[in-house]
Structure 1
Amino acid sequence: MASTGSTNLKLRDQVRRVIRLNRYSIRTEQSYWYWIRFYIRFHGVRHPQEMGPKEIQEFLTWLAVERNVAAATQNQALNAIVFLYDKVLGIPVGDISGTTRAKRPPRLPVVLTHDEAMRLIAELSSPYDLMASLMYGAGLRVVESTRLRIKDVDFSRSIITVRDGKGGKDRTTLLPGPLLEKLKNHMGRIQAEWKMANPDYWVPVSLPFALARKYPNAGQSLEWQWLFPSHDCVPDESGNIVRHHIHTSSVQKAVKAAVKRSGIGKAAGCHTLRHTFATELLRRGSDIRTVQELLGHSDIRTTQIYTHVLGQGFAGVSSPLG
């Protein structure tokens, strides 16, 4: 955005400030700025204050018709633009009902059998095997598994706390029994290195929002250490060097490669393990409301898609063939 000059730099600062005041996740911040910048560039780097419903409709329609984006992608762009006008600029969006909407074709998620999931996990090396096991055994999203900290695993209550999940929500989910010893050993190694003052732990871990200012030593405390740390140190939003968790793309690449080696023959990835968690729980008789809570779905209709994957959405109707 160099060609936009100081005006758009100021706009980005405004967007960042309002997003953080509303405590949105860093992923939402990145996504929203991506679409806001795309919208501005699409209209020849005009300032959003000079545009309105007509330009918004043109951009969203172009995404649907010319770029052929998915409905979820168009909705994400719309949410970002509405946020910009409503929350940042304080300008009503106006009537954009004439926008051509991307179609939302009904698709069932790819799921694995239990044996296929275990074959996939067996193809992974440490720590990716443990992360994949948590995606399948606890229903975690890939980003949720990478963001786990030592304090999020509660062995006494057999629960995992997912913080700042999708939609900025916290939730608890199952701590799978078969992973207890593996997790204890994994966390024990981290604790031992931390106690020995391994140079990796001299650099504080990244912390959410203003926590680093409120608790200056929290980034070097044991409970805030990443469960799956990266060895790379990067600057945070304030320019301070911090240690981050394993990047989601590393996990995704490892799982994709494991799918090929396993010979499963399905277009599977990290999220497939979460889908399989849900279908396995329902297949084994778990209540759909409980599965909804474990997955962190705000709408039960999202969870109900898994009943169709299992073929349980036909109200007891059987084929006339037999």
Structure 2
Amino acid sequence: MSKSITSARSFPRQPRNKRPMGFQERPLVSFPIQEVTIDWDRLIDKRPLLLETLDTMPKYLLKPEVLTLLEAETHPMHRLILDLMWCTGARVSEVLAITPASFMDDGYDFGVILKTLKQGAGRPSKRSLQRSPKRFIPILDRDFQTRIQSYLWMGKFRKDERIFPVTRQAVSANIDRLIEQVGGEPPFKIGCHTFRHSFAVHLLLHGRPLKFVSQLLGHRSVESTEVYTNVLTFDGAHFLEGVDFH
């Protein structure tokens, strides 16, 4: 597994198992929202009306639908590409720019450093890679971490070598093949960017802060991310319960 390489530190790092004198251990506090109950069938059934009445709402899939596609993919490389788009919200151009050096494990968090790139045809140019800002996306799923590490080990990639030698068009064609393979009538045209929209909706359904979701997506402004909150407010009949008009 490749870890990020940094220059020599200016001061020694405090060992994790030792604490400074006078330090009092405090109980760990997890994110306040521990569990969310989601009615996936209701959300799927309500989605057509949401997309029909709100033109600005991006088309998205929900977790059961994404998992159906993921479980149908047996090719390790294509499965990893789909997983990275779904679990990190990365644009396909950002995924195709990933190298072994993009993955980092600092002893606390494992994740991937994405170079924020606008989607375009083919692979991103060297110039766009050099001037693009970066963002770190944590990956907590241990099985997913293991698959990433195994893929890197089996591929024996150079540190700066792109690990996915395919084009955006090839990824899109593979998604079309998967949809045909699983059967059924897709609710709309599903492409690479659908996974990015689905990632954003999935986090908001679990109560994650809008600012945090915006940062993970690499948006310059929270206003660009606000469109996804429609999935939270559209199905709001329960807000009118107890409000009598007659």
TM-score, normalising length: structure 1: 0.49
The one of 202, 223, 238 aligned to 1:301 = 223
Are positions 1:266 and 2:183 aligned together? no
2:101 maps to: 151
Alignment of structure 1 residues 30-109 onto 2, 5 Å: 106-109=55-58
Are positions 1:126 and 2:90 aligned together? no
Are positions 1:135 and 2:85 aligned together? yes
The one of 37, 60, 74 aligned to 1:111 = 60
Q: Which runs of 5+ in 2 are unaligned?
A: 1-53, 119-127
The alpha-carbon deviation at position 159 of structure 1 amounts to 1.9
Q: Which runs of 5+ in 1 are unaligned?
A: 1-104, 195-221, 231-245
Amino acid at match of 1:136: W
TM-score, normalising length: structure 2: 0.63
1:254 maps to: 174
Larger Rg: 1
Preserved contact between residue 91 and residue 196 of structure 2 (Cα < 8 Å): yes
RMSD between superposed Cα atoms in Å = 2.5
The one of 184, 188, 210 aligned to 2:149 = 184
The alpha-carbon deviation at position 261 of structure 1 amounts to 2.3
The alpha-carbon deviation at position 312 of structure 1 amounts to 5.8
Distance 1:313 1:170, change over 3 A: farther
Q: Which runs of 4+ in 1 moved over 6 A?
A: none
**Helix, strand or coil: the match of 1:159?**
strand
Distance 1:164 1:150, change over 3 A: same
1:75 maps to: none
1:82 maps to: none
Amino acid at match of 1:271: H
The structure with the greater share of residues assigned to helix is: 1
Q: What do the CA deviations read for 1:195-246 (whole angstroms, capped 9, x no partner)?
A: xxxxxxxxxxxxxxxxxxxxxxxxxxx2101121x2xxxxxxxxxxxxxxx1
Q: Count the aligned residue pairs.
A: 172
Amino acid at match of 1:251: V
The alpha-carbon deviation at position 142 of structure 1 amounts to 0.9
The alpha-carbon deviation at position 289 of structure 1 amounts to 0.4
The alpha-carbon deviation at position 169 of structure 1 amounts to 2.3
1:285 maps to: 207
**Helix, strand or coil: the match of 1:289?**
helix
